[in-house]
Structure 1
Amino acid sequence: MSEQPDPAELPEDVALLWGLRSSTRRGPKPTLSVDDITKAAVDLADAEGLAAVSMARVAQKLGNSTMALYRHVKSKDELLLLMADAALEEPPEFPPDERDWRAALTTWSNGVLAAIRRHAWWVQIPTKGPPIGPHNLAWFDRALSTFAHTSLREDEKVQLVMSLLMYIHGEVWLGTQLPEQGAQFVTDYGTALGAVVDPRKLPSLANVVAAGVFTVEPGEIVDSGDDWDFGLNVVLDGIGAYIARREGSA
């Protein structure tokens, strides 16, 4: 059995995320906890956006003084770190004997996307390093477990999961940073491309425009879910081809 790590030896952010930060506070047991503060901040961001989140607003929501929050969370940066991990909640369970890594990773990928989309502000929080919080690591572990019945090395499993995460994060970013993907947006974009794309300078892009890729008929519904499914299947096809190549050479 591994020994409990010494909080003094852990980076501040790791100790905070795992509830291992040592406290020198004396007196009655505090009525406020890090979990209380994090939940209040997440609820506030869900309701009003990330810009509304401040230590003072969260304290007000909890009916406490701002100083009471600082006894548990030292800064807004720490609060954002806690929020980013809390937003992911718990990953989905897979059947105990699941050997279909593709089906499991499809469930996992859709779960990550859904969790992030429930909190539109998540993408606005800067990423400062690899996943280290309890929820992030639970998702990471669940993805790695889908390769348990393959011959992949441990480092290969990590690289494949990270590649899939890059696709998911790209989808999240596009979905939050660009306008709602409606028919009018696609039509306007196609019209703009048609006006500026010179077939002599941008021949491949001109072929896309001429093929009507960005032309939407009146009343046609643009479903961004189709793009997500297509891209996800392409990524999973690549992972499948890599696994087949590795197992063929084993």
Structure 2
Amino acid sequence: MTEDPDELPPGLALSWGVQPVQRRGPKPALTIEQIVATGIEFGDRYGFEAISLQRIAGRLGVTTNAMYRYVRSKEELIVLVHDKAVGTPPELPDGWRAAAIAWVDALVKQYAERPWLLDVPIRGAPFTPNVLRWVEVMLAALDQTGLSQHDNLGCLVLLDGWARNYASLARQLGNSDNAPVQAEQVGRFLVPRLLAGDYPTVASLYLNAEYQDELDDDLEFGLARILDGIEVLIAKRP
């Protein structure tokens, strides 16, 4: 197995602490940790698009070209910043179902605190330490199900997808300046048209205040249905 950083995906070696061979010349003025911390600061303050080699170089007082002494590309920078910003998962409770609920809840809270993490491109299976730690703890909990490793990995992808989807929807609703569907002026306009236009089921939901922008208990409801489905899969295993 190679440990030559040039033969590995961007960020893989550096994320595991494997530094490139230092060439002769002046001692580096910066550290990877400084660069990554600055990238996270920009993400937290200004969003994902603000994380760039040029901006970080300006903040740290070096040229953009000098940044390439530390990272090979912007892609490598993003990989390192993402892994550090994700952090480590919480300790999960006993029982695969309780562990799944805690794991998804922690992910959703992480996305709420750092919504720019949702904008980080997904380019394949994770390979960095912190992201893999999230995978490790959930797979370890799913080992209790008696399912195959393949099925456990599929369950993890399903849980991760639900957390990301919910967090993304919550962010979009939170950023929306539009009037909510249950606003009084929206109701005055919409309800008569629903009743007259053959939308009886939607009209009933609307009149009972069930059709609205707020997510309410959608996270728990959707997650419970996913876990119920995993229960069925467990019951069907050979």
**Interval of TM-score (by shorter of Structure 1 and Structure 2):** 0.7 to 0.9
Deviations 1:188-219 (A, max 9, x none): 5974765479865xx6xx413323278379xx
1:186 has 2:181 as partner: yes
Q: What TM-score do the two structures reach when normalised by structure 2?
A: 0.82
Give the structure 2 partner of residue 85 of structure 1: 83
Query: Which residue of 37, 42, 45 maps to 1:39?
Result: 37
1:106, distance to aligned residue in structure 2 (A):
1.0
1:10, distance to aligned residue in structure 2 (A):
2.4
Give the structure 2 partner of residue 209 of structure 1: 203
Give the structure 2 partner of residue 10 of structure 1: 8
1:109 has 2:100 as partner: no
Spell out the pairing of 1:161-172 with structure 2 (5 A cutoff): 161-172=156-167
1:78, distance to aligned residue in structure 2 (A):
2.4
CA contact (8 A) 1:17 1:82 kept: yes
Report the RMSD for the aligned CA atoms in angstroms. Answer: 3.2
**Aligned to 1:178, what secondary structure does the other structure show?**
helix
Give the Cα separation in 2 of the matches to 1:225 and 1:29: 55
Give the Cα separation in 1 of the matches to 2:101 and 2:87: 18
The one-letter code matched in structure 2 to 1:30 is P
Gaps of 5+ in 1: none
Change (3 A) 1:9 1:162: same
Query: Which residue of 115, 123, 130 maps to 2:125?
Result: 130
Give the structure 2 partner of residue 74 of structure 1: 72
Change (3 A) 1:196 1:70: farther
1:235, distance to aligned residue in structure 2 (A):
1.4
- The range that moved more, 181-190 or 3-12, is 181-190
Deviations 1:24-68 (A, max 9, x none): 422354241222211111111211222333322212322333333
Q: What TM-score do the two structures reach when normalised by structure 1?
A: 0.79
Between the aligned residues of both structures, percent identity stands at 32
Give the Cα separation in 2 of the matches to 1:182 and 1:213: 23
1:228 has 2:219 as partner: yes
- The range that moved more, 108-117 or 50-59, is 50-59
